[in-house]
Amino acid sequence: MSILGTRVVRTEDPLLLTVGGTYVDDLRVPELTGAARVTFVRSPVAHALITGIDVTAAREAPGVVAVLTVADIDDLPPPPPAPEGEPPPGSEAAPLPMGGPWAEPLLAVDRVRFVGEPVALVLTDDTYQGEDAAELVSVDYEPLPAVIDLDDAVAGETLLFPAAGTNVPVNVGAPADGSGFDGCDVVVERTIVNQRLAPVSMEGRATAASWADGKLTVWVSTQNAQISRFIFAGAFGLDPAAIRVVAPDVGGAFGAKIGADRDAILVAWAAKHTGRAVRWVETRSENLVGMTHGRAQRQHITIGGSRDGRIIAYRNEVIQDTGAYPRMSGFLPFLTGLMASGPYDIGHVETANRVVVTNTTPISAYRGAGRPEATAAVERAVDLFAAEIGMDPAEVRRINLVPPDKFPYSSGGGAVYDTGEYVKALDQVVTAAGYQELRAEQARRRERGDTLQLGLGLASYVEITAADAAGGETARIVVHDDGTATVYTGSSAHGQGHHTAWAMLVQGELGIPMDKVTVLHGDTDLVPLGTGTYASRSLQLGGTAVHLAAVDVREQARAVAADLLEASEPDLELDTEHGVWQVRGDPASSRSWAEVAAHAGPDGLTADVNYTSQPTFPFGTHLAVVEVDTETGKVALIRHVTVDDAGTVLNPLLAEGQRHGGIAQGAAQALLEEMVYDADGNPVTGTLVDYAIVTAAELPSFELLLSETPATSNPLGAKGIGEAGTIGATPAVQNAVVDALSHLGIRHVDMPATPARVWAAISEATASTATREGQ
C-alpha cells in the first residue's frame, strides 16, 4: 500500500515540540557569537522632509557599537541601470519593485514617506541597550501633508515622488463606457472595499549577518533563500558565490517574507560596514508598520444579467493602494483582473486598475496576493445580483458556474482554467451543510423576529497557483551507500510540512523509509538554485521535482542493480514495500538500496531536476453560517463548510491544516481585521491590542469536505492549497453577514463586519424603514 495519499504525522514535529524551532533569534552558530544587536530608528511621522539627524548623544550611550545613517552608506554600488527592453514603469508588466522616480532607498535620504520608514540603525552589544540608545537619536522632521485618502492620492495635490509628477504609477484598462452592459435586464453597481490587512506572522522579520574573509553570510527569516542571495548580490555588487543565505526555521510568512527587504539589506550592510556580526529581530510594533501590508483595494463592481439568473457582463475597476513605495508595481491588481470573473462563465468581462501611492506602509503579497480581492469582489457582485433579481444565491451560482465540459476554460479575465468541477463543489457543500434546513431555520427566526438572526454566505472560487510555474523548482536526491537518502529542495517551507511530504514522495517512489530520508532546504551553500515557497507552488513544482528526481534515481539504480545482480534491466523490479531491488519473482536475489548505491560508486546515486510547468487552478465552494445579534451588531461564525479542491492530495493531514489556517485568516478579514490610519498617516491599529487577530474563541471547528479533481500539468495531479482557504472564506463570511440582514433591506456591509459597522447598517436600515412606514 503506497504511503502517498495517507495521513502521515510530521517529521518536523519532534524537535518543534521538545526543544522548539531554531528561528533567527535562536541561532547560536559560531559566526554570530558576540553579534551586535541592531535596533532601527524609524520615522514617527507619515510624510516629512528630514532636515537633520543628530547621533552624538546616541553614540555615547552604553554598549553602542555604531549609529549609522544614510551619510554612512558610502560603500555600496549605485543600482544598475534598467536593462534594455524592460517594460516601462506604469505598465502592468513593469518589474517589481518599480524603480526610476519611484525607487525606494535603503535608509531614508531626505524625506520619509510612511510611519515606520527606517532612518537610522543603532548597533549595541546587547538587546536591552538598543532601545535606550535609539531613543537618543534625534531626527528633525519638517512635516509635509500626509496623503492617505485614495481620492486625495489620485488628485495629486501633494506628491510623494515629485520627480514622478503623479501619485499614480500604474493605470491600465479602459474607462467604463457601459456598452458591455447593454442587453442586461438588471445592472447593479457598487463601490466596495477590500481593506488593508497586516500579515502578522507570529515571528516577525529577522535577519542576522556576518562578513568574514570577503564572504557574506546572511540568515534571514525568508521564503526564498536563493532569491534573497541575488538581492544581496545586487545590493552589494557582489558575485553571488561570495554570499551564503540561510533560511533557518521561519515562524510564518504568508507572502510578506518573499526575498529580502530594505531592512534586511541594511542589516547585512551594517555587518559589512562595521566588521561586526549583527542580529536584528523586530518587535511586534515595528512589524505592524514595517512588514508589508496586504489587500487595500477599493473596487467599483458592476454586474449585469437577465432576470432568469444569467450573468451577462461584469466589470471590476480597482484602485490599488500600494502604500509609500510601489514594490509590487501593477502585479497585485493584475492578478485581480486575471481572476476577475472567478468560476463563472461570463461573456463580457472588463477590468481596469490604478495603483496609487499613499503615505502608509508599502503593500505586498499576503496570502492570496490579488486573488482574494478578485473573489471577494465577484462573490459580492453575484450576491448583489441575486438580491436584485430575488433569486437564491446558490441557484444563481449554479446557473453561472463554468460547466465541466468547458475545460480548459478561457476566462474573461484572460486566464485558462485547467480542470474543474465547480457545480459539484457547490452541490457538495450545499448538501453537506443542510442548506435547505438552514434556510428554513432562517425563515423561522425572521418570522419570530428573533434577536439572533441567521445568515448563510456562499463563495465559489477558482484561484491561480504556481503563477510563475515557468520559473520552476529544483530538487536533487542523493541515495547514499548506507541506504539513506538526502533530498535538496528549492522549496522553502515555513510551516507547510515539506520535509514530511517530500520524504513521503521518496518513500512512495523508492521504498526508502521516511525515517531514512533527510530533507534540506533554504541554505544556498547546499541548494544554490531554487525559487522558494509562495504562490502555493511548492507541491506541484517542488514536489514534482522531487518525484522526478526519485524516478531518475530509480532508473539509474536499475542499471546499477542489473550490474550488481548480473541480470538484465527488464527482469528487475523495485519492491517499494520493502525498499529492495530484486530479480522479478526471486526474493532471494534482493539487494538493499545501500548495496545498490555502494555499487554505483563512492558518491552513491544522484539525480538533479529543474521542473518547470504551467499554473494550475484549484477551486471550491465555502458556506459560512453566522449568527448576528441584531441589537448589538455582533457576529458569530457558527459553522464553516468547505470544498477546496486542489487536485490529488498527497497528505490529507497537511492539506487540511492548510485549509484550516486559510479559513481562519479569511474569516478574520471578514469579521475583525483592519489596518487603520488616521488622516495624518498615524497607524491607529499599531499593536495587537487594536489589530484584532482572531483567537480560538471566535472560531468554530471547520467542516471540510473532500474533492480531488487532478491537475493535468504535473504527474502528482497536484494544484496548490496554501491560499485557497483564505480566498474562499472571506467572501463566504461577508456574504453571510449581509444575508443575515437582507430582510431589513440591507444589500452590503463592508469588511470587517465589526459590531459597530453591522449595527450602523441595521440602525440605518431600520430608521429608513421607520421613516417609510411613518409616511
**Quick check: 754 binds another protein (CB under 8 A)?**
yes
* Cα 418 → chain centroid: 22
| Options 1, 174, 588, 697; binder of another protein; rule CB under 8 A | 697
Distance of alpha carbon 64 from alpha carbon 16, whole angstroms: 35
**Quick check: 432 binds another protein (CB under 8 A)?**
no
Instruction: Determine how many CB atoms are found less than 10 A away from the CB of residue 348.
Output: 18
The bridge status of strand 473-479 relative to strand 605-611 is: antiparallel
In 3D space, the residue among 336, 340, 349, 339 whose CA is nearest the CA of residue 295 turns out to be 336
Closest CB 169 distance from another protein, rounded Å = 30
| Options 326, 342, 495, 508; binder of another protein; rule CB under 8 A | 495
| Options 694, 705, 744, 765; binder of another protein; rule CB under 8 A | 694
Interface stretch with another protein, choices 45-53, 428-436, 685-693, 743-751 (CB under 8 A): 685-693
Interface stretch with another protein, choices 373-381, 414-422, 651-659, 740-748 (CB under 8 A): 651-659
- Interface with another protein in residues 385-404 (CB under 8 A): none
**Quick check: 766 binds another protein (CB under 8 A)?**
no
| Phi, psi of 245, rounded to the nearest 5 degrees | -115, 135
**Quick check: 5 binds another protein (CB under 8 A)?**
no
**Quick check: 241 binds another protein (CB under 8 A)?**
no
**Quick check: 654 binds another protein (CB under 8 A)?**
yes
Coil, helix or strand for 557?
helix
Instruction: Determine how many CB atoms are found less than 10 A away from the CB of residue 194.
Output: 28
Binding mask 115-154 for another protein (x = CB under 8 A): ------------xx-xxx--x-------------------
- Interface with another protein in residues 244-263 (CB under 8 A): 249-252, 254
- Interface with another protein in residues 168-207 (CB under 8 A): 200-203
Q: Which is nearer to another protein, 149 or 573 (CB)?
A: 149
**Quick check: 759 binds another protein (CB under 8 A)?**
yes
- Interface with another protein in residues 11-40 (CB under 8 A): 12-14, 16-23, 25-26, 28
* Cα 424 → chain centroid: 27
In 3D space, the residue among 771, 745, 731 whose CA is nearest the CA of residue 390 turns out to be 745
| Options 687, 706, 764, 768; binder of another protein; rule CB under 8 A | 687
**Quick check: 653 binds another protein (CB under 8 A)?**
yes
- Interface with another protein in residues 266-285 (CB under 8 A): 283-285
Specify whether the backbone of 368 is left (phi greater than 0), alpha (psi in -120 to 50) or beta. left
Q: Which is nearer to another protein, 659 or 719 (CB)?
A: 659
Going from the C-alpha of 427 to that of each of 380, 397, 433, 434, 601, the distances in angstroms are 20, 10, 10, 11, 57
| Options 52, 163, 585, 701; binder of another protein; rule CB under 8 A | 701
Distance of alpha carbon 545 from alpha carbon 512, whole angstroms: 17
Distance of alpha carbon 488 from alpha carbon 608, whole angstroms: 9
What b/e string do you get for 201-227 counting C-beta neighbours within 10 Å, with b at 16 or more? bebbbbbbbbbeeeebbbbbbbbbbbb
Binding mask 497-536 for another protein (x = CB under 8 A): x---------------------------------------
Helix 593-600 vs helix 544-565: crossing angle, to nearest 10: 80
**Quick check: 438 binds another protein (CB under 8 A)?**
no
In 3D space, the residue among 425, 452, 380, 433 whose CA is nearest the CA of residue 625 turns out to be 433
Binding mask 572-611 for another protein (x = CB under 8 A): ----------------------------------------
The bridge status of strand 348-356 relative to strand 170-172 is: antiparallel
Closest CB 671 distance from another protein, rounded Å = 8
Q: Which is nearer to another protein, 36 or 377 (CB)?
A: 36
Interface stretch with another protein, choices 42-50, 149-157, 271-279, 681-689 (CB under 8 A): 681-689
H helices of 208-248, where?
A: 225-236
**Residues near another protein (CB under 8 A), total:** 76
Going from the C-alpha of 407 to that of each of 195, 288, 455, the distances in angstroms are 33, 42, 33
In 3D space, the residue among 596, 564, 170 whose CA is nearest the CA of residue 356 turns out to be 170
| Options 270, 456, 663, 718; binder of another protein; rule CB under 8 A | 663
